[in-house]
Amino acid sequence: MPNIELLEKSLPVAPIRIAALAGCQDLAREVDKKLVKFRKELVAKKQPSTIPQGYSEDSFLVECECVRFGTGEGKGYIKESVRGTDLYIMVDVTNYSQTYSVCGHENHMSPDNHYQDLKRIISAATGKAHRINVIMPFLYEGRQHRRSKRESLDCALALKELSDMGVSNFITFDAHDPRVQNSIPLNGFDNFFPTYQFLKALVKSVPDFKMDNDHLMIISPDEGAMSRAVYFSNILGVDMGMFYKRRDYSTIVNGKNPIVAHEFLGDSVEGKDVVIIDDMISSGESMLDVAKQIKERKANRVFICTTYGLFTDGLEKFDDYYNKGWLDKVITTNLNYRLPELLTKPYYVEANMSKYLASIMDIINHDVSVEKVRSSNDKIYELMKKVNKR
């Protein structure tokens, strides 16, 4: 079990419980299994007399639901006591597969609907749970993180609202702009990255994958992903390049300025494997264009690594680019809802985050520093040694 020595020397702040909203229950079950395993391993190593009551259970999941009335109105309902617990509420605001009925019409759940259900469950637990923590891998309205003119500031507003409702800690992954936490300076806000999980998935799915400067290069698809690409390239000791987007600022399409072209800055990619790193695939158009241009520059293989695979325009273009040889693998995490057909694609690889998330929850429940789980440097170095030896 990771960090077992650190946990041996500390006690949990309260019994841990997990409340998963509709659309996030599959991930919650995986996390629960890992957490149960961690606790049983720790109990086996410790003296039984030192184990707090409720520390090791067969499951930490709490049954809850948000029921709907015929008009579409709803209420949150927690079906068992959470009094005195360290409650972790998990929500996936991107899961549009969930539906509800409004006057006989079927509606798909939007991020706004999921956010409203989250507030309902918080409301049902407020005043009872010892501490409330929200696990929101894809940060609600995370792309509307700053104000540049007369427009709303949705993400900051949501965080402030949840803070006022009694949420102590926010746990997210690869936030579009983590500076949004400045809106809640007195609350915990932890932003984690799936760097190690990406590399582990690549190594497992590509047997001849090599992590050295002669065989690998990291590419940022735009200026917004530069920090991720810089970290990747530095820790692996390989070169990096960057594309920047030339946009048409005279028009707005679907809420953004359309991209005119991608321009490349960096050394030659000829003969090298290339990893394109970003926080999400939305429609995927810019990512696919970058992959095509990289291939046209005679790269060996192109691997796309993003934390969230949203695929808002479907998978047809990705199928087409794969068949034409313009991309080789697409790696995303299991932190958000993915199309069932995506899981069957020959180019798709999952970076499973359930063990990492369970470890994060375990550390926070013990109220010790999260730096041990935030930093994956040692794990990445060990992985590099194994890969470069084979």
pLDDT grade for 4, boundaries at 50, 70 and 90: low
pLDDT grade for 388, boundaries at 50, 70 and 90: confident
Which of helix, strand or coil describes residue 19?
Answer: strand
**pLDDT tens per residue, range 128-152:** 899 999 999 999 998 888 888 888 8
pTM of the entire predicted model: 0.91
> Contact, 120 vs 66, CB < 8 A?
yes
- Could you give the CA distance from residue 319 to residue 307 in angstroms, rounded to a whole number? 20
How far is CA 294 from each of CA 77, 242, 284, 300, 329, rounded to the nearest angstrom? 51, 11, 15, 9, 14
**pLDDT tens per residue, range 20-48:** 999 999 999 999 999 999 888 888 877 65
**pLDDT tens per residue, range 223-273:** 778 888 888 889 888 999 888 777 766 777 777 677 666 678 888 888 999
> Contact, 106 vs 141, CB < 8 A?
no
pLDDT grade for 369, boundaries at 50, 70 and 90: confident
Token couple for 150: 């007369």
